Amino acid sequence: MSRPVLFDSHLHLTSTRFDEDRDDVLVRARDAGVREMVTIASNPTDARAAIELARAEEGVWATAGLHPHEADATSDRVLEDIEALTAQPEVVAVGETGLDFFYDNAARETQIRNFRAHLDLARRTELPIVVHSREADQDTALLVQEYADSVMGVLHCFASGPELLRIGIEAGWYVSFSGLVTFVPALETAAREVPDSRVMIETDAPYLAPAPRRGGRNEPAFVAFSCERLAELRGVEPNEMARTTRRNARRFYGLGDPE
């Protein structure tokens, strides 16, 4: 039986940390069975680069959005730019957006305003939204609940508490686990509780390399480690976990059922 395709639902292929060997990174990913991936944008310039990369590489798609770390750049012009980029066929989601009260690189009120603007954009365009939330569970949960009936989202790189997890699941949102699940025991319960129809995997590369690659640069080939750990925690075979997470990622991003 052939090995199932892995889908890395969230990474940053446009990062400068891949500039010297991006082609080799993609070869290694495909050799590891990672044939589909979404490269996530942090700002409009990054989104344009992601779109160009997606045009050039089979099985790669892009997003358009403004990361909460860059929320101080929020303006009508920037949001109009992002909205125009969402019309490109390579763009399959709005984001990455959300709230990060750990670093507080932008004022919290500004982050909330930016997040709400992206939620409104996702509602208008009928695209899903990719959400970053760190140390901001309560405010994230309020906005998830407010838009639950009109926007589909994913809580990416999940590392939040049980209340946000509950609210996300009740809203019908997806939950994605990164390499953190391979070495953070506090995530084990969450990894078991997400319904089969809503769980996804990601690398968030070049960040958050999983065990046993901690300390180095992460890359899409390593999503297999998260898949194996998630399968172990959920009591299924890794191949089944790969098929489930790929099916969910394709559904979330509007790419249709796997062949």
**For residue 206, which of 5, 4, 21, 7 has the smallest C-alpha distance?**
21
Contact status, residue 68 vs residue 111, Cβ threshold 8 Å: yes
Strand, helix or coil for residue 220: helix
1 within some domain: no
11 within some domain: yes
Contact status, residue 8 vs residue 251, Cβ threshold 8 Å: no
The tens place of each residue's pLDDT in the chain, 259 residues long, gives 578 899 999 999 999 999 999 999 999 999 999 999 999 999 999 999 999 999 999 999 999 999 999 999 999 999 999 999 999 999 999 999 999 999 999 999 999 999 999 999 999 999 999 999 999 999 999 999 999 999 999 999 999 999 999 999 999 999 999 999 999 999 999 999 999 999 999 999 999 999 999 999 999 999 999 999 999 999 999 999 999 999 999 999 999 988 6
What pLDDT score does 140 carry? 98
Domain that holds residue 136: 6-252
Continuous segment of H or E residues that includes residue 84: helix 76-85
258 within some domain: no
Domain total for the chain? 1
The pTM of this model reads 0.97
89 within some domain: yes
What pLDDT score does 2 carry? 72
Sign of torsion, CA 99 101 107 112?
A: positive
Q: Which strands, in side-by-side order, build the sheet including 34-39?
A: 6-11, 34-39, 60-64, 91-100, 129-134, 153-155, 174-177, 199-201
116 within some domain: yes
Contact status, residue 166 vs residue 145, Cβ threshold 8 Å: no
Contact status, residue 128 vs residue 150, Cβ threshold 8 Å: no
What pLDDT score does 64 carry? 98
Q: What is the CATH classification number for the domain harbouring 115?
A: 3.20.20.140
